[in-house]
């Protein structure tokens, strides 16, 4: 679905404040996959997100979305219909003062007929469990609810890929849970490809695959077992999920915990054994 090949990205190339954000990144995301992208601040995550829907084009290398290369301008309309991006701050993503108008904005811009716009608004709001708020205003909602509206706005375009760029970072634990529930369900039930950028390792552990970015390079990737590699995670400026950290500390002190321990249930089971 997405193929990133030897991508370098330099901001302000040639200027005095030139900055190489990505050095040489190669990454393939399959249709229907749920990938977590993790890395310290400044490791290049948002740059990668912007490359994936053609907001910027690589300095070197190629990004291909469902067979369409992002550096060809005539592909951009289709690429942006295919890859929707949800950003960090829900307040910056609201465009209208009535929720249904906000969600209709994307399909209206696609030039869809009114009946189809209506159908999509209903479906998108139902998908995030916000249909009863459709006539309301986004400004009175909680952070989690606002972010669900932002997701509905992206969903209404019916993208096959959703990129969430630290979309839970500004939310409280309840809001974070709401958003994760919606995203996980869209992936499992609707087959939507999800790329979730996060620095919460507990969230990353929900994904099928975890990609660790460090200083503009892929430092490692794999399933949850990647958290057994404490050095990889900590060298990348990240923290192990709490349960993995407790397990690693206990092992270092000589307690022989068996199995892969990333989630709280796994820690409890390992301790009981
Ligand atoms: P992350 O999302 O992982 O925090 P970013 O992709 O935002 O990282 O940034 C990667 C690097 O590129 C950082 O060093 C950042 O300061 C730099 N950078 C990001 N955006 C710009 C920009 N618009 N102009 C110049 N440098 C930028
Ligand atoms: Mg970022």
108-155 pLDDT tens trace: 999 999 999 999 999 999 989 999 999 999 988 998 999 999 999 999
Confidence bin at 218 (pLDDT 50/70/90): very high
Mean pLDDT along residues 80-107: 92
Spatial contact of 178 and 130, defined as CB atoms under 8 Å apart: no
Residue 61 has pLDDT above 90, yes or no: yes
pLDDT value at residue 89:
87
| Chain segment 240-262, per-residue pLDDT in tens | 989 999 999 999 999 989 888 88
Task: Report the nearest-CA residue for atom 5 of ligand 1.
Answer: 44
Task: Report the nearest-CA residue for atom 13 of ligand 1.
Answer: 42
- Asked whether 216 lines ligand 1 (CB < 6 A), one says no
- Asked whether 39 lines ligand 1 (CB < 6 A), one says yes
Angle made by CA atoms 102, 105, 120, in degrees to the nearest 5: 90
As a whole number of Å, the end-to-end CA separation of the chain is 41
Residue 58: count other Cβ atoms within 10 Å of its Cβ.
21
State the distance from the centre of ligand 1 to the C-alpha of 42, rounded, in angstroms: 5
- The full length of the chain comes to 273
Question: Which ligand 1 atom sits closest to the C-alpha of 43?
Answer: 3
**Could you write out the three-class secondary structure of 45-71?**
HHHHHHHHCCCCCCCEEEEEECCEECC
State the distance from the centre of ligand 1 to the C-alpha of 81, rounded, in angstroms: 25
Strands (DSSP E) contained in 30-155 are 34-39, 60-65, 68-69, 83-86
For residue 116, the SS3 value is helix
User: CB-based burial of residue 272 (10 Å sphere; 0-12 exposed, 13-18 middle, 19+ buried)?
Assistant: exposed
Confidence bin at 48 (pLDDT 50/70/90): very high
- Asked whether 15 lines ligand 1 (CB < 6 A), one says no
pLDDT value at residue 136:
95
Spatial contact of 145 and 31, defined as CB atoms under 8 Å apart: no
Mean pLDDT along residues 85-95: 87
- Asked whether 58 lines ligand 1 (CB < 6 A), one says no
Beta carbons within 8 Å of 21's beta carbon, 6+ residues apart: 9, 10, 11, 44, 47, 216
Ligand approaching nearest to the C-alpha of 41: 1
Confidence bin at 54 (pLDDT 50/70/90): very high
| Chain segment 141-192, per-residue pLDDT in tens | 998 999 999 999 999 999 999 999 999 888 888 888 888 999 999 999 999 9
- Asked whether 60 lines ligand 1 (CB < 6 A), one says no
State the distance from the centre of ligand 1 to the C-alpha of 221, rounded, in angstroms: 22
- Asked whether 199 lines ligand 1 (CB < 6 A), one says no
Determine the Cα–Cα distance for residues 198 and 213; give it in Å rounded to an integer.
11
Residue 237 has pLDDT above 90, yes or no: yes
**Residue tagged 């490809």 (tokens):** 193
Buried b or exposed e, range 116-150, using 16+ CB within 10 angstroms: ebeebbeebbebbebbebbebebeebebbbbbbbb
Spatial contact of 12 and 47, defined as CB atoms under 8 Å apart: no
Confidence bin at 228 (pLDDT 50/70/90): confident
DSSP 14: T
| Chain segment 3-32, per-residue pLDDT in tens | 999 999 999 988 889 999 999 999 999 999
Residue 225 has pLDDT above 90, yes or no: no
Tokens of 235: 């060298």
């Amino acid at each position: 679905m997405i193929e990133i090949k030897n991508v370098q990205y330099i901001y302000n190339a040639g200027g005095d404040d030139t900055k190489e954000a990505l050095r040489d990144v190669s990454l393939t995301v399959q249709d229907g996959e749920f990938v977590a992208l993790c890395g310290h601040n400044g490791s290049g995550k948002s740059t990668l997100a912007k490359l994936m829907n053609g907001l910027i084009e690589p300095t070197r290398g190629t990004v291909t979305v469902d067979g369409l290369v992002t550096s060809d301008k005539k592909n951009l309309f289709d690429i942006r219909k295919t890859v929707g991006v949800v950003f960090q701050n829900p307040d910056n993503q609201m465009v209208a003062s009535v929720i249904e108008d906000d969600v209709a904005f994307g399909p209206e811009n696609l030039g869809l007929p009114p009946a189809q716009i209506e159908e999509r608004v209903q479906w998108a709001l139902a998908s995030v469990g916000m249909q009863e708020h459709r006539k309301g205003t986004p400004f009175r909602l909680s952070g989690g609810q606002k972010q669900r509206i932002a997701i509905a706005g992206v969903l209404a375009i019916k993208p096959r890929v959703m990129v969430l760029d630290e979309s839970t970072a500004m939310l409280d634990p309840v809001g974070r849970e709401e958003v994760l529930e919606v995203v996980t369900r869209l992936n499992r039930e609707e087959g939507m490809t999800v790329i979730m950028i996060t620095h919460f390792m507990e969230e990353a552990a929900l994904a099928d695959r975890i990609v660790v970015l460090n200083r503009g390079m892929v430092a490692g990737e794999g399933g949850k077992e990647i958290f057994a590699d404490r050095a990889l995670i900590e060298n990348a400026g990240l923290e192990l999920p709490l349960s993995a950290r407790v397990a690693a500390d206990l092992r270092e002190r000589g307690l022989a915990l068996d199995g892969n321990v990333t989630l709280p249930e796994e820690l409890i089971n390992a301790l009981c054994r």
